[in-house]
Structure 1
Amino acid sequence: MNKKKIFSLLLTASLLFSSTSYVFAADFKISQPEPAITTTLTASSNSEERNVKISKEQAKKIAKEKLKKYFDITISEQDFKCNINLNSYTINKDNKNYIWHMNWYSNSHNSSKNISLTLDANTGDLISMNNYNYNENNSSIPKLSIEDAKEISNKFIKNINPSEYKLCELSKDKWFSNRGTYSDYSFNYVRNIYGAKYYSNYITVTIDGVTGKIKSYNFNWDKNLKVPPMPKINLREIAESNFKKEMNMELKYKLLQNKYEYQNKDNTKNVKLVYEPSIEKGYSIDANTGKFLTYDSDKNVNTQTAKLNETEIQNLYKNYKKLSNYTKPLEKEEASKLMTNFVKKFYGNGYTIENLSYSENDNSYKSTEKKTWRASFTKKIEVTNPKTNKKVSRTLGGNITLNALNGQILRISNYLSSYYDYDKNFTPKFTWNEGYYKAVDLLGEHYGDKIKNLELNLTHTETIYKENDQKKPERYYRYYFTRKVNNLLYDNDNIYIEFDTKTGQLVSMRCSWDDDISFKNPNNSISIANAKDSFFKKYKPELRFIMKNTSNDNKNPKMELKLVYVLDSPNVYIDAFNTNILNRYDGEEIKFDISHFLNEIKESKYEKEITILAYSGLVDTKDFTLKKEIKNMDLIKTLVDALGYTPYIVDRVETYNKSSALENSKSDSADTNESALTNEDYLKMAKYYGFIDGDIKNFNFEKKVSREEMCKALIKFLNYEKIAECKDTFALNFEDGNKVSKENYGYVSLAKGLKLIELNNNKLNPKQTATMEDLAIGLFRALENKESSRFYPYPLYR
């Protein structure tokens, strides 16, 4: 499609060219699992076909009719091959249910089509359909707006499920979510009962945003659902009060991503002080009683805590010793000797150190792992195979990593210690509480420099499993000692210790720690009350139906609909200094209101295109202004974000090209915002992608971008620069074509032909500074001409 368009442009340009022509060079879910419907899907034997009302051939006929009627898809037996299987599933030990699963596929040298479909084997109802056409449409941006796609989706559901559509509510779509592809829209219709949503019954539709065709459909609906009467009591205020009362807001430091990674070029960490909301009792309250809901899983949990008394703490602190680095990294022989001693101490004699290697990684976001020695250790043993009762040879072993500057253990694990241990019935060598003290002893012996900065109080939650009415012992005890800074937790750094309870042996011990982080002082942080108020201004309890087991007999469950108030799982943070609600991924403020952006773009004739860009996460709605003049940094960030910031690609390139000019590139105008990538980060990717070339050592980030320079960047974005360099092929057939720089003739002509830039009264105004509106429509049309074969950027704001 794109090649045909370019050929057409070239042909037109060559016909226009003459001696007088100018020639010139794009919904939260419930956090606690709902014990509703559990299904197990299994392939059925041919003999089970007699249990269903619809035969295989009838199923194929019905499927073809539905594909034609609802999806405008015609299946030809000559063009498609078909697989069809009968599958069964059970719901809570009830009678079997059967479905016919069909798959039609067709391959050619430049395309691949795959259509899958499932039918109820007794009623013939369509359950799901998925239409995947490789290479049919690889556009990087939708042509339809979300409203256009929603209208198509609504019309489709009204046609295929008219009665269910009346009982559904379309889930609110979240702008700037990380979409599966830029050219698809997905809609979820949830069953609404008395104004309460029942998320286990739903209809989902995916619309191709370029063609408007239905790409997938899924119908999950219980037509025999027994709906209880709606209670007359309104306990919403009580529910909200109970949620607020039970919500814990813990002040802590969190490591967040700098959009695509945890650090920028200078290893600056995005660590913020935040309040983390959580509710120990769960996020569901019975709408009839106002009390928190309990689940069967809660009955199978045993919780215990362990902590040191004051005397024990002081005895532990006697082991404190500041860790001093050597003048130079350990030599190979020194590292080998240390490793041999550690392995012998933890796992006994007979092990051999192998594959010893030294590593330096200046880009590691763990300061302790910049210079390390790594090795494996093994030994041969003989064990008895319980099935044959014969001796067989096995290899035990593990891995060990040391800090090369001080010899401290970073990681050690004997991962094969129980791999060949077939005995499931055993008595643990010690209890979890006794293991806690063993772990504390290891802290004092090997991490004396860190013991004063660790949270020593631990809570252990054991899920109880039974076999033949006998409780199965825990095979492993795991202990996480989290780092504390300013007496607050920073859980990205910790010391982890794990024991094998059968052997009593250390399975694994690792230290994750970074001393290069600057932590903000918490003195000016907001109160817990303010953090709660901020949260509950945005998140309110929602009335829902869930399926719950109302029987006390776990072997004979009785599943019934239960009306509850649910608080959307608080998968957010509260900024500890200004009450902003932050995304847990990158720590950016969640934008709940984008009305200012929508009002701004109403003035543009490209409102639809800019809205689509924003919905795809490619326009920063925070400070968007149509007439804002574009600077070099605006252009670079926009185009890099459109392709996706993938720093590991550049790291790999630089690994093989140490002479890269980027190694020494710096700028006085670097962005110092800790929660964002630096200008140099973007410059590195722009250089890699080819938007800019030449010497970038003194790159001017603040320089304004002319309209012809924007054209050149967009053509490079599309990788069409070789075509643009065919200068004698193009003609500038607009009034001010003589003002275009000669080296940009081809770029501007091609950009105009692809409609990446618009004329005004037959003038391009090539030297005029491009605006944000110019860049937005240029990027949109460039993406229309670019196949979707890239990494997806993380949204700017959500």
Structure 2
Amino acid sequence: MNKQKLFSILLACSMLSPFAQQAFAATSYDTPNAKVISTPSDKTDPNEDINVSLSKELALTKGKEVLKKYFNIDINEKDFKYNISLDPYVYSDVKETKSYTWNISWYNTSFKGSTNIYISLDGNTGKLISMNKSEYNKNGEKSIPTLSMEEAQKTAEEAIKKINPDEYKNSKLTTDKWFSNRYNSSNYSFNYTRFVNQASYDNDNIYINVDGVTGEVTAYHYNWNNSLVFPSDKGSISLDKAENIFKSSTDMTLKYKLFNNKYEYQNADNKKNIKLVYEPTLKDGQVIDAKTGKPISYAGSLNSKVETISPNQKEIDELYKKYKKLENAKDPLKKDKALTIISNIVNNMYGKGYTIGDLRYREDDNSFNDNSTKTWTAFFTKKTEVKDAKGKVVNTIIRDGSISINALNGQILSIYNYTPYEYKENFTPKITWKEGYYKALAILGEHYKDKLKDIELSLNHVELLPKETYSAKEAERFYRYSFVRKVNNIPYENNSIYMEFDAETGEVSCMNLSWDDGIAFPQASSSIDPSKARETYYNKYTPSLKYMLINTSPDPKSIKNELKLTYCLEPTSSFVDAFDSKILNDYDGEEIKFDISDFLNEVKGSKAEKEITILAYKGLIDTKDFKLKKEVKYIDLVKTLVDALGYTPYIINTETTKSSQSDAKEDSAGSANQAALSNDDYLAMAKYYGIIDENLNNFDIQAPVSREEMCKALIKFLQYEKIANCSDIFSLNSADAKDVSKENYGYVTLAKGLNLIDLEDNKINPKKIATSEDLALGLFRALQNKEVNNNYYPMYK
């Protein structure tokens, strides 16, 4: 969902009731690092007992003036209604600086559509804090911008110079324009971050959104704390020294990582996107203090003790003796058998006297569930009467919980103890963390025999310690243990066995199995060395200076944020592919393209340079290996149009995509190409969308695409084929009109009329093979004629 639509939804909600309006005022408006905290006022007069310079009437007048002056928006009181509230605005950086803002919503609804405008002004100065304008009309939202990224950026900067000229001088555009504007339809968003002494301070920024079709500024948010005092950068270590510290302090951890599927939907046929990666991890912290050169964490230096525990070899051998392969039955357990298994588990874990009720069988075909799709679930309850010395019942304690088991093998999938506990600041734990650990091992040996050799048994326990000046130590209420799955002796953190113990009672309060046996993990035999991964990573990323708020309080009960100058890496959430050293993003595991100069040089001077670049900005063209004059094959055409419409595999009958499972073969690096979509997947979607009519079994995906066939596909992309088939009403004005196939005549004529294809010397050249340049230009112009399809998310390469 793009930012403009999110604003529209929130603003629509704000018109429903005063409560919804106040809730909207409390949001951060989907802007980076916003720190608005707003609470509703129950006073009839919002100025009562609140000392602000602007009255409600002045705020309304000032709001209209700001909208007209900066955004060319006229508020006609005859057409617009409004909501207004006065709310707290709190800076919570180093010390709280509290002021108030006037939050005003104007809205206008008619049969033609609706307009919603929101503005937030400082209650004393009238300074603009936020603005958002969202419109809905019958023409809908366009699918592609008309402005280039550079043109939109110029509009954004001109607006900031007028509204916040001083702040603009001390800010820089820090978002990566090649990746920040996907999933944003025809809009462009920019984030300008504050810089002091050549160091960024990300908490202060100006966010702005530009409509790529109209060129209007449709959203603006200003977040800047002028009361901050930034420490000097004198005495800071050099960049080279910081980089060496990072390199020597960075571990490259080999792990299996589950990424999102880049086509948004992930089911049994569209396999899980798991890759073998190296994750950079800075030892003893997350950033480096620029003055001392020592690693520090965002939370600061809390007084803590880290305890690492592992069973010794004898204990491991004894535990592994319990290993037993778990066999699934052909049919689910009968109800009486399931009841017996559940009763035994509850009695052994919590004692006798529990009643098992609401026993239910369920089959779940939800592919997001890593556990069994066949389960038995039940609730358990026990009532205990508490009597006084005379035998009179003075209280009844109800203990209850729920349990779920695998219906094919009886293994515990989850168990929860809902019994409420009385909070005590000081209590005597029945067990220690170490004792809880060995109880957890015993449970593993009893209930998870088949997984004993596939989990990491070594765990770390971080315990916060009080200072002498603080009150007595408060004991930990719960002990938590997460035994991560290991595959090929490599951790896979998305699968684990989790246990939680109530320290006061020593009982299991929660246990959960997250395990997917259907994953094919890539083998690590041909993975690169960690030193190679580290070298690759630091060839791409260089530390940069950044002011950060660091908690310097040793008391875990209080926070004392101080501004510190640090060196950090941007971004920290990236990985190195363990096979080919590519840098992968944290979202879908796709390669981060650091250099697109080859692409820009390729399209420079093209008649479609602007259009192709816009498509690339929006993720609709893969910048890698793009060649203007490359001849288009049918598979290229299909993939381009399907990606532009949005790949939505959940609307395809699963039978049509069965073949994609067998297409996941190991590549040259030895990794299973599980996330890649097969050609059959694309063809099935193209068939669904009506882009192709042919029998898929006989479709030649490598056949070249003529210019007239490209025209036909683009018209089908726009769903204008019914018009195109009325060929008798068309007259094609080109020197070679007679060369167009009869069955394609209407399509080509309509494509020419919509400017989807350029003539060459007044000729269509219908039989000539289309080029990537032809297809990109045609797609761009088709998108200009197409509204956003709100049924599907736009999916990008």
Normalised to the residue count of structure 1, the TM-score between the two structures is: 0.85
Query: How many aligned residue pairs are there?
Result: 743
Q: Say if 1:286 and 1:383 are closer, same or farther in 2 by CA, change over 3 A.
A: farther
Superposed displacement of residue 691, structure 1: 1.9
Does residue 1:54 correspond to 2:58, yes or no? no
CA contact (8 A) 1:343 1:351 kept: no
Greater Cα offset, 605-614 or 281-290 = 281-290
Greater Cα offset, 282-291 or 205-214 = 282-291
Does residue 1:140 correspond to 2:143, yes or no? yes
Tell me how far apart the structure 2 counterparts of residues 705 and 671 of structure 1 sit (CA, whole Å).
28
Superposed displacement of residue 522, structure 1: 2.8
3-state DSSP of counterpart to 1:181: coil
Query: 1:42 is matched with which residue?
Result: 39
CA deviation profile, 1:363-422 (whole Å, cap 9, x unmatched): 8477863x52333335475899xxxx9979979442413152x3333x12226x13x445
CA deviation profile, 1:461-480 (whole Å, cap 9, x unmatched): 356899x9465544433221
Query: 1:563 is matched with which residue?
Result: 565
Query: 1:501 is matched with which residue?
Result: 503
Does residue 1:354 correspond to 2:366, yes or no? no
3-state DSSP of counterpart to 1:154: helix
2:194 to 186, 191, 194: 191
Tell me how far apart the structure 1 counterparts of residues 50 and 210 of structure 2 sit (CA, whole Å).
37
Query: 2:247 is matched with which residue?
Result: 244
Tell me how far apart the structure 2 counterparts of residues 794 and 471 of structure 1 sit (CA, whole Å).
52
Query: 1:213 is matched with which residue?
Result: 216
Tell me how far apart the structure 2 counterparts of residues 619 and 250 of structure 1 sit (CA, whole Å).
33
Superposed displacement of residue 666, structure 1: 7.7
Greater Cα offset, 421-430 or 262-271 = 262-271
CA contact (8 A) 2:270 2:677 kept: no
Tell me how far apart the structure 1 counterparts of residues 91 and 364 of structure 2 sit (CA, whole Å).
55
Any residues of structure 2 matched to 1:622-661 within 5 Å, and which? 622-650=624-652
Tell me how far apart the structure 2 counterparts of residues 719 and 587 of structure 1 sit (CA, whole Å).
34
Superposed displacement of residue 611, structure 1: 0.3
Query: 1:539 is matched with which residue?
Result: 541
Query: 2:29 is matched with which residue?
Result: none
3-state DSSP of counterpart to 2:243: helix
Query: 1:10 is matched with which residue?
Result: none
CA deviation profile, 1:265-322 (whole Å, cap 9, x unmatched): 7565543322111114333322222223456554165532221111111110110112
2:599 to 585, 593, 597: 597
Does residue 1:286 correspond to 2:283, yes or no? no
The alignment yields a C-alpha RMSD, in angstroms, of 3.4
Query: 2:404 is matched with which residue?
Result: 400
CA contact (8 A) 2:271 2:661 kept: no
3-state DSSP of counterpart to 1:746: helix
CA deviation profile, 1:621-645 (whole Å, cap 9, x unmatched): 1111112222221122111211222
Query: 1:181 is matched with which residue?
Result: 184
Query: 1:24 is matched with which residue?
Result: none
Query: 1:304 is matched with which residue?
Result: 307
Normalised to the residue count of structure 2, the TM-score between the two structures is: 0.85
3-state DSSP of counterpart to 1:206: strand
1:315 to 309, 315, 318: 318
CA contact (8 A) 2:286 2:298 kept: no
Tell me how far apart the structure 2 counterparts of residues 294 and 624 of structure 1 sit (CA, whole Å).
42
Tell me how far apart the structure 2 counterparts of residues 106 and 378 of structure 1 sit (CA, whole Å).
55
Q: Say if 1:737 and 1:326 are closer, same or farther in 2 by CA, change over 3 A.
A: same
Greater Cα offset, 116-125 or 718-727 = 718-727
3-state DSSP of counterpart to 1:51: coil
Q: Say if 1:745 and 1:340 are closer, same or farther in 2 by CA, change over 3 A.
A: farther
CA contact (8 A) 2:302 2:553 kept: no
Question: Which letter maps to 1:649?
Answer: I
Superposed displacement of residue 243, structure 1: 1.3
Any residues of structure 2 matched to 1:216-231 within 5 Å, and which? 216-231=219-234
Superposed displacement of residue 240, structure 1: 1.4
Tell me how far apart the structure 2 counterparts of residues 251 and 622 of structure 1 sit (CA, whole Å).
27
Tell me how far apart the structure 2 counterparts of residues 205 and 133 of structure 1 sit (CA, whole Å).
17
Greater Cα offset, 287-296 or 102-111 = 287-296
Query: 2:615 is matched with which residue?
Result: 613
Q: Say if 1:748 and 1:394 are closer, same or farther in 2 by CA, change over 3 A.
A: farther
CA contact (8 A) 2:181 2:189 kept: no
Q: Say if 1:731 and 1:254 are closer, same or farther in 2 by CA, change over 3 A.
A: same
Tell me how far apart the structure 2 counterparts of residues 604 and 265 of structure 1 sit (CA, whole Å).
43
Superposed displacement of residue 605, structure 1: 0.4
CA deviation profile, 1:41-88 (whole Å, cap 9, x unmatched): 334543546511111111111111111011000111111111111112
Tell me how far apart the structure 2 counterparts of residues 739 and 77 of structure 1 sit (CA, whole Å).
60
2:126 to 103, 124, 127: 124
3-state DSSP of counterpart to 1:609: helix
Q: Say if 1:290 and 1:62 are closer, same or farther in 2 by CA, change over 3 A.
A: same
CA contact (8 A) 1:40 1:90 kept: yes
Tell me how far apart the structure 2 counterparts of residues 735 and 444 of structure 1 sit (CA, whole Å).
82
Question: Which letter maps to 1:642?
Answer: A
CA contact (8 A) 2:301 2:552 kept: no
Superposed displacement of residue 544, structure 1: 2.0
Q: Say if 1:131 and 1:49 are closer, same or farther in 2 by CA, change over 3 A.
A: farther
Superposed displacement of residue 579, structure 1: 2.0
Query: 2:721 is matched with which residue?
Result: 721
Tell me how far apart the structure 1 counterparts of residues 311 and 411 of structure 2 sit (CA, whole Å).
25
Query: 1:588 is matched with which residue?
Result: 590
2:416 to 391, 414, 417: 414
Tell me how far apart the structure 2 counterparts of residues 152 and 582 of structure 1 sit (CA, whole Å).
32
Tell me how far apart the structure 2 counterparts of residues 621 and 631 of structure 1 sit (CA, whole Å).
18
Query: 1:476 is matched with which residue?
Result: 478
Greater Cα offset, 616-625 or 91-100 = 91-100
3-state DSSP of counterpart to 2:793: coil
Question: Which letter maps to 1:528?
Answer: P
3-state DSSP of counterpart to 1:768: coil
Question: Which letter maps to 2:488?
Answer: N
Q: Say if 1:738 and 1:696 are closer, same or farther in 2 by CA, change over 3 A.
A: same
Tell me how far apart the structure 1 counterparts of residues 155 and 380 of structure 2 sit (CA, whole Å).
62
Superposed displacement of residue 244, structure 1: 1.3
Does residue 1:445 correspond to 2:446, yes or no? yes
Greater Cα offset, 511-520 or 483-492 = 511-520
Tell me how far apart the structure 2 counterparts of residues 610 and 671 of structure 1 sit (CA, whole Å).
33
2:256 to 233, 249, 253: 253
Any residues of structure 2 matched to 1:34-113 within 5 Å, and which? 40-44=37-41, 45=43, 46=46, 48=48, 50-91=50-91, 94=96, 96-113=98-115
Q: Say if 1:62 and 1:750 are closer, same or farther in 2 by CA, change over 3 A.
A: same
CA contact (8 A) 1:667 1:697 kept: no
Question: Which letter maps to 1:170?
Answer: L
CA contact (8 A) 1:632 1:702 kept: yes
Superposed displacement of residue 510, structure 1: 3.1
3-state DSSP of counterpart to 1:165: helix
Question: Which letter maps to 2:39?
Answer: T
2:171 to 168, 171, 193: 168
Superposed displacement of residue 40, structure 1: 4.3
Q: Say if 1:777 and 1:89 are closer, same or farther in 2 by CA, change over 3 A.
A: same
3-state DSSP of counterpart to 2:134: strand
Tell me how far apart the structure 1 counterparts of residues 488 and 535 of structure 2 sit (CA, whole Å).
25
**Structure possessing the higher relative contact order (Cα contacts under 8 Å, 6 or more residues apart):** 1
Query: 2:459 is matched with which residue?
Result: 458
CA contact (8 A) 2:657 2:681 kept: no
Superposed displacement of residue 445, structure 1: 1.1
Superposed displacement of residue 596, structure 1: 1.0
Could you tell me which runs of 5 or more consecutive residues in structure 1 were left unpaired when the two chains were aligned. Answer: 1-35, 655-659
CA contact (8 A) 2:106 2:116 kept: yes
Query: 2:8 is matched with which residue?
Result: none
Does residue 1:576 correspond to 2:578, yes or no? yes
